[in-house]
Chains A and B, each alone.
Chain A
């Protein structure tokens, strides 16, 4: 959350695009409180543009991770609060569904933060390689359940240190088309 005394401005009245991005970079996913919305890749766009009613302002576009992610509404609320706290009121929030979010959009920094937090990050490959234990690094791990504590995670256990851990599921890359006729 942004503290008003913490405001990031370049000494001018109008915040710059970088200012806005810095404000948004402090909005943290409530379910994985080490990742910002930038790390997660769900902040899709920030633009200074016509925001309706003839007003020029910031159009901030977010995308949900999973359709039913319960954090989606809360994240939008946190974004609003962060902007208001920094005295930015001329903005609209938009949601885009296409292209659908994929774990490929989680940044390298975000993956490292996940690992340090004890969640195995999604693989960068095709998604069926080994999933190393985030605690001891062993690749001797097995799937306990396809679904973990949130829709985006699966539950695994390490064969080496025996610790169970969450694995951020590789998501969103396969979509074989059956085609409309």
Chain B
């Protein structure tokens, strides 16, 4: 029998899966641009960035798998869990949209991820702290690259500005989820393993507002919808969109069709 590692599971494991799922799902979304980027250099840039995210996901899955035991590996965790077992943010599973949406989402998440990893360097889980420290230079680079493009497109042509405004309108309703802690996040925060994401909000808002000002993009960041009062979707609880189901169907097809296949 193939282990599916269904919840309920220990809060620490759920937290590690949440972090890993975030990196995997965004990395996968971005990788859809491979061969389709607007120009060769930026196609390569986004593909490389996806590779960093996949690398971070692998380290986190391996760490989670060691803790979960029962035959779990990075591969079973990535390929044999259903959408409802995934703990990633809805923001990251939304379809890639146009180049502007992809870039803007990457930027908004990189700012968050950087603060999160910086805080996690102090985790009492020393392996998580090491993974965080390893990820920081990578995410710093992602943030710089994405920020540059957000400003360039937002403060660019009429067409690029309009597209960025529309991307912002699509993503804005999903920003509240970044900062609303799930139960497992509260538990790991109490145990010194994790970080309560609501504590990152003011610094994130400050940085994002500055970038969006530079990009000539206006948005309300003061009142963000929380998952419960918005759509009933809550990625951290496994309540996902159809978009994640389709993403996983594609990503998992080989292991689902030929379980345990290796090459």
Contacts and interface: CB of A to CB of B under 8 A. Distances in A.
A97 B51 contact: no
Interface in B129-177: 129-131, 133-138, 140-141, 144-145, 148
A97 B56 CA distance: 11
B122 interface: yes
Interface in A50-78: 64, 66-70
A179 B122 contact: yes
B55 interface: yes
Nearest to A144: B41
A99 interface: yes
Q: Chain B's interface: helix, strand, loop or mixed, by majority?
A: helix
Given A66-B55, A146-B144, A180 B44 contact: no
A12 interface: no
Interface stretch (B9-17, B93-101, B112-120, B247-255): B112-120
Given A66-B52, A67-B59, A179 B130 contact: no
B138 A67 contact: yes
B192 interface: yes
A181 B48 contact: no
B123 interface: yes
Contacts of B119: 178-181
Contact of A68 (B41, B51, B115, B127): B51
A145 B133 contact: no
Nearest to B59: A67
B45 interface: yes
A97 B48 contact: no
Interface residues of B, number: 43
Nearest to B55: A68
A54 to B, nearest CB: 23
Contacts of B144: 146
B44 A67 contact: no
Nearest to A171: B137
A99 B54 contact: no
B203 A68 contact: no
Contact of A155 (B41, B135, B141): B41
B66 interface: no
B45 to A, nearest CB: 4
B51 A151 contact: yes
Contacts of A171: 137, 141
A14 interface: no
Contact of A67 (B45, B115, B118, B134): B134
A3 B196 CA distance: 54
B133 A100 contact: yes
Nearest to A153: B48
A146 B130 CA distance: 25
B51 A70 contact: yes
A159 interface: no
A68 B42 contact: no
A97 B127 contact: yes
Given A171-B137, A175-B121, A178-B118, 7 more contacts: A67-B58, A97-B133, A98-B134, A100-B130, A175-B133, A178-B115, A180-B192
3 closest pairs, A vs B, by CB? Answer: A68-B55, A67-B55, A180-B122
20 contacts: A66-B55, A67-B135, A68-B53, A68-B56, A97-B59, A98-B126, A98-B130, A100-B137, A102-B137, A146-B45, A146-B144, A147-B45, A151-B52, A174-B140, A175-B121, A175-B136, A175-B137, A180-B120, A180-B122, A181-B119
